[in-house]
Amino acid sequence: MAAIFQGIGTTASLSTSNSFDSKRFQFPSRRSYLSERKGNLFVMRSEGRIIGGSKGRGTSPLVTSAVASKAESSSTSTASKPGHELLLFEALREGLEEEMIRDPTVCVMGEDVGHYGGSYKVTKGLAEKYGDLRVLDTPIAENSFTGMAIGAAMTGLRPVVEGMNMGFLLLAFNQISNNCGMLHYTSGGQFKIPVVIRGPGGVGRQLGAEHSQRLESYFQSIPGIQMVACSTPYNAKGLMKAAIRSENPVILFEHVLLYNLKERIPDEEYVLSLEEAEMVRPGEHVTILTYSRMRYHVMQAAKTLVNKGYDPEVIDIRSLKPFDLYTIGNSVKKTHRVLIVEECMRTGGIGASLTAAINENFHDYLDAPIVCLSSQDVPTPYAGTLEEWTVVQPAQIVTAVEQLCR
């Protein structure tokens, strides 16, 4: 690891996202891994480049000109040519359906995903098209239907399991930890578990404590799984597709309050990288790391900060496990100040792990201790005002940046 980051250190400090990529390709170690890859996946970097040495066996070719969110503001985040507008839950559905068309082993299971169309309409219409077995309405038995999905994945199917609310997946923790995460290892590599577990989590609008949980902090220690969090229609569709195509078990965290976000996304097919962070707003003064809903609180705070003369760099980390320390590291080396804004609780949250990881790897580049803004270590209360105080608000972000940059 030291070798890679020394390599980055020697590049120009004012690196744009484009130059990250070109430097990345020069590392011999990365090349050798690429040549070993048996996957048939073309992966889009967020700047629109394709990496990959595969000879395109059976892949649908992806278009290089599909452009991603490298712009300064989120409103012009996508297409260079006219795409189509849709809401985030529709983007998820589009990604899921495209993968179902492409690969007959992709199937869906969960509560009310079939005839009801999904409690957040992500699977609406799929059961009519693909049948009741392929879009399976399960009884309310999270532990066993998650186990069932994992068993099916052991034979080669690619189930997409929906937790109606991520919090319910606590009931399936044993299956997710022991079977989903560990079977590839304990079987000495004999079985792959290409399962996707997805669902909404996070603090909503007065949904109560049990329906406002952030499971990413509980799952993050499980070895063998990958975790990603989507935040825009564009990355929702791209991450959904990437998660389904991945041979590893992936947990895709959606957020209850983000399903109705509207965005224009490309008509062409695209798949995003599961391990890559997204540069939302390049800047110079401070690196703000965030994901999911808090991205929007951060961007709101960023408007205020810009008016006050600050230039924050905002990165949506997207990949919660593993962290994209590459992108994050480059940013830290540029700004030397880090603020993490997350929705997890302070204790044992994603922010806590990220703080440790950055301290460990980039300690020399920090001019100030890392500041981590998290939700309070409390069950989410029902009352609106109390709930508001549980999560990080834009005003707190502004204050934190001002203090950090003093």
Partner 1 sequence: MALSHVATASRSQLLNPLTILLSSSLRRPISTDTTPITVETSVPFTGHKCEPPSRTVETNPQELLTFFKDMALMRRMEIAADSLYKAKLIRGFCHLYDGQEAVAVGMEAALTQKDCIITAYRDHCIFLGRGGTLLESFAELMGRQDGCSRGKGGSMHFYKKEGGFYGGHGIVGAQVPLGCGLAFAQKYSKDENVTFALYGDGAANQGQLFEALNMVALWDLPAILVCENNHYGMGTAEWRAAKSPAYYKRGDYVPGLKVDGMDALAVKRACKFAKEHALKNGPIILEMDTYRYHGHSMSDPGSTYRTRDEITGIRQERDPIERIRKLILAHDLATEKELKDIEKEARKDVDEAIAKAKESPMPDPSELFTNIYVKDCGLEGHRLMGKGSS
Catalytic residues: 142, 211
173 near partner 1, rule: CB under 8 A: no
Residue 285 in contact with partner 1, rule: CB under 8 A = no
Q: Does 9 bind partner 1 (CB under 8 A)?
A: no
Task: Return the number of the residue (36 or 307) whose C-beta is nearest partner 1.
Answer: 36
For residues 79 to 108, the per-residue mask of contacts with partner 1, x marking binding by CB under 8 A and - elsewhere, is ----------------------------x-
**What is the C-alpha to C-alpha distance for residues 380 and 350, in angstroms, rounded to an integer?**
18
User: Contact with partner 1 (CB under 8 A): which of 92, 110, 123, 134?
Assistant: 134
Site for partner 1 in 229-258 (CB under 8 A): 246-248
- Options 93-101, 178-186, 302-310, 369-377: segment touching partner 1 (CB under 8 A): 178-186
Residue closer to partner 1 (CB basis): 184 or 293: 184
For partner 1, the binding residue among 8, 11, 21, 34 (CB under 8 A) is: 34
Q: Give the 3-state DSSP-derived string for the chain, with helices as H, strands as E and coil as C.
A: CHHHHHHHHCCCCCCCHHHHHHHHHCCHHHHHHHHHCCCCCCEECCCCCEECCCCCCCCCCCCCCCCCCCCCCHHHCCCCCCCEEEEHHHHHHHHHHHHHHHCCCEEEEECCCCCCCCCCCCCCCHHHHHCCCCEEECCCCHHHHHHHHHHHHHHCCEEEEECCCHHHHHHHHHHHHHHHHCHHHHCCCCCCCCCEEEEEECCCCCCCHHHCCCCHHHHCCCCCCEEEECCCHHHHHHHHHHHHHCCCCEEEEEECCCCCCEEEECCCCCCECCCCCEEEECCCCEEEEECCCHHHHHHHHHHHHHHCCCCEEEEECCEEECCCHHHHHHHHHHHCCEEEEEEEECCCCHHHHHHHHHHHHHHHHCCCCCEEEEECCCCCCCCHHHHHHHCCCHHHHHHHHHHHCC
Q: Considering beta carbons, is residue 48 or 202 the nearer one to partner 1?
A: 48
| Number of chain residues interacting with partner 1 (CB under 8 A) | 70
Q: How far is the CB of 274 from partner 1 (least distance, A)?
A: 7
Please answer whether residues 279 and 256 qualify as being in contact, where contact means their C-beta atoms are separated by less than 8 angstroms. no
Q: For residue 58, state whether it binds partner 1 (rule: CB under 8 A).
A: no
Chosen residue from 324, 342, 343, 387 binding partner 1 by CB under 8 A: 324
Figure out which of the listed residues 13, 186, 359, 403 binds partner 1, where binding follows CB under 8 A. 186
Rounded to whole angstroms, the Cα distance separating 363 from 173 reads: 34
Among 230, 314, 325, 340, binds partner 1 (CB under 8 A): 325
Pick the stretch among 93-101, 111-119, 138-146, 213-221 that binds partner 1 (CB under 8 A). Answer: 138-146
Say which amino acid occupies 150. Answer: I
Q: Quick one: which of 8, 102, 191, 306 contacts partner 1 (CB under 8 A)?
A: 191
One symbol per residue from 303 to 322: x for binding partner 1 (CB under 8 A), - otherwise; what is it? -------------------x
Interaction between residue 52 and partner 1 (CB under 8 A): yes
Q: How near is the Cβ of 390 to partner 1 at its closest, in Å?
A: 31
**Residue 65: left if φ>0, alpha if ψ -120 to 50, beta else—which one?**
alpha
Q: Minimum Å distance from CB 76 to partner 1? A: 27
Pairing status of strand 262-265 against strand 250-255:
unpaired
Out of 46, 175, 235, 375, point to the residue binding partner 1 (CB under 8 A). 175
Closest approach, Cβ 3 to partner 1, in A, equals: 9
**Quick one: which of 382, 386, 402 has its CA closest to 394?**
402
Q: What's the rounded Cα separation, in Å, for the pair 40 and 53?
A: 9
Among 62, 86, 149, 301, binds partner 1 (CB under 8 A): 149
> What is the β-pairing status of strands 338-345 and 286-290?
parallel
Among the candidate windows 55-63, 79-87, 171-179, 232-240, which touches partner 1 by CB under 8 A?
171-179
Q: Is 8 in the site for partner 1 (CB under 8 A)?
A: no
Nearest approach, Cβ of 262 to partner 1 (angstroms)? 29
Instruction: List residues near partner 1 by CB under 8 A.
Output: 1-2, 4, 29-30, 33-34, 36-39, 41, 43, 51-52, 107, 133-134, 136, 138-139, 141, 143-157, 174-175, 178-179, 183-192, 194, 223-224, 226, 246-248, 273-276, 322-326, 357, 360-361
